[in-house]
Chain A
């Protein structure tokens, strides 16, 4: 279908450009500053010149410094491993639980739903000490498991899947049951493919949650081989100084993998659901 260039499109484009400016400007400045030789922080912020966003001497020295001297690459790999593992198990576990809560009537259903809700309304900081004692008690301290497992059970993910599954007509499932399909087959072959946007959402949500975690990795692991990306970024703020160039380049470098994940998953947001059985 050809998209005509209408006034509406131009208006949309204008609004988007203005809003993007709001979002982009701080980022562009951070990016430009990370590509400049490490120097003064405000030199190009004030006054405003074209050099503010387009550095006169572009250099990759700051990136070299964090990857070579400060082992930033290791932090990225650690975070990738932890995030992807949590996503894999998290989607599995949350979708199964969401299915149960959406489609089955059983004793304890309401209580479990309340538990699910409460678990994301309590701040991490208030549970960190008992959680650490527990993790240490079951022997998981200083391991990838300590980073992954607490993030697999995710109340928000379960809530999201429950919402999506509730919109699937029961007739679909009844038909499959009449064909003598097992519940697991119904879950895996009918429901999961139907909720690709939900899966994509939970993937991004879980991935971001793990990618952004800072305090728990510091508490739960102590060997430097487990260092995660946000710790590596935050380490550029020291007690006596802040290394702005390193901080900015680390922030930018550390934000790229999630953006790649998001870009990759975007097509699941474009996919329509026409003709997949939701017609009444």
Chain B
């Protein structure tokens, strides 16, 4: 660590100004909204933590959303990490086909979530969609997908994996490239086999990347709502009612900025807690 304070502040200042102006200030205003209630005629009044206490004590929809959101997060985050890490590992070599496959996996990221949602709604149509046509070909019964309380959230998880895995794969590729080949050569000389190299060398050396991917992916997924907004609208029967979707409808349909901001503040607290836990767990211990 270096001590040149002046230099440090000069380097950090542009970003700091931009963040303070375009992120911190609006976030502050939004927090402020969460302790206010605006009546329809425009009268604003300070209500302390009433918005929060209403959510916790009298709002069953809120608790259902918390349950759904946690269920979704605990499933989708590890899944995305495993899929993207596996893809990165498989495509790290210089094989001829790697460039092609990398592009294929990356392509879905270039389509916005809203359009991906529309595509999935159509592909997973309960009666005539592509997915059911394939199932029929394999002799399996057609599935209701988004039309089923049990399957809808899984479909959204599937959608997220499809759309995001290629993106995170890219971070893992960058992280893998950061590992000098000399380490592997030394390990081979020492007689380590593939699996040992993977679990004792590669994965620990990827800890920094994993912590980055884990923290940002966690945030992304807690703030997810586009597929719910476009396809399921929280249904069937509340099974896909993610917290961010609740906040979104509070803000833009109900004009209830107080409730909307209260929910996003709670989300922020949840994300911060998860992130700090994740950062602690994946603290890089390796120097090479």
Contact = CB atoms under 8 A, between A and B. Distances in A.
A and B touch in their complex, CB below 8 angstroms = yes
Nearest to A15: B90
Given A23-B104, A251-B119, A273-B180, A212 B113 contact: yes
Contacts of B253: none
Contacts of A92: 14
Among A47, A163, A234, the one with the most B-chain Cβ atoms within 10 Å of its Cβ is A163
Nearest to B87: A19
A170 B287 CA distance: 13
Give the secondary structure class of B's interface: helix
Contacts of A269: 170, 173-174, 177
30 contacts: A15-B90, A19-B87, A19-B105, A20-B101, A23-B162, A26-B162, A27-B108, A42-B129, A47-B133, A48-B130, A93-B18, A96-B11, A97-B12, A100-B9, A100-B12, A104-B1, A121-B222, A122-B264, A123-B264, A125-B244, A126-B260, A134-B26, A155-B19, A167-B208, A244-B122, A247-B118, A251-B111, A251-B119, A266-B99, A272-B181
A106 B25 CA distance: 23
A247 B133 contact: no
A115 B113 contact: no
A134 B27 contact: no
A215 B94 CA distance: 40
B266 to A, nearest CB: 11
A105 B107 CA distance: 41
B112 interface: yes
A63 to B, nearest CB: 16
B106 A262 contact: yes
B26 A3 contact: no
A148 B143 CA distance: 44
Interface of B: 1-5, 7-9, 11-12, 14-27, 29-30, 87, 90-91, 93-95, 97, 99, 101-115, 118-120, 122-123, 125, 127-130, 132-134, 136-137, 162, 166-167, 170-171, 173-175, 177-178, 180-182, 208-209, 211-212, 215-216, 219, 222-223, 244, 247-248, 251-252, 257, 260-261, 264, 267-268, 271-272, 275, 287-288
Nearest to B137: A48
A233 B3 contact: no
A120 B25 contact: no
Given A167-B178, A183-B7, A237-B118, A122 B248 contact: no
A118 B8 contact: no
Interface string A244-262: 1001000100111111001
Interface centre among B12, B113, B271, B272 (most CB of A within 10 A): B12
Contact of B12 (A41, A112, A120, A164): A112
B27 A279 contact: no
B130 A52 contact: yes
Place the interface of chain A in its size category. 35 or more
Contacts of A164: 178, 208
Contacts of B261: 126
A214 interface: yes
A223 interface: no
A3 B208 CA distance: 30
Interface in A109-135: 109, 112, 115-123, 125-131, 134
A10 B3 CA distance: 53
A87 interface: no
A23 B120 CA distance: 12
Given A125-B247, A237-B118, A258 B109 contact: yes
A190 to B, nearest CB: 13
Contact of B11 (A97, A198, A208, A254): A97
B36 to A, nearest CB: 13
A57 B7 CA distance: 64
A123 B219 CA distance: 9
Contacts of B170: 201, 204, 262, 269
Contacts of A272: 177, 180-181
Nearest to A127: B26
B19 A116 contact: yes
B110 A208 contact: yes
A158 B271 contact: no
Nearest to A124: B223
B223 to A, nearest CB: 4
A9 interface: yes
A126 B247 contact: yes
A94 B247 CA distance: 30
A96 B177 contact: no
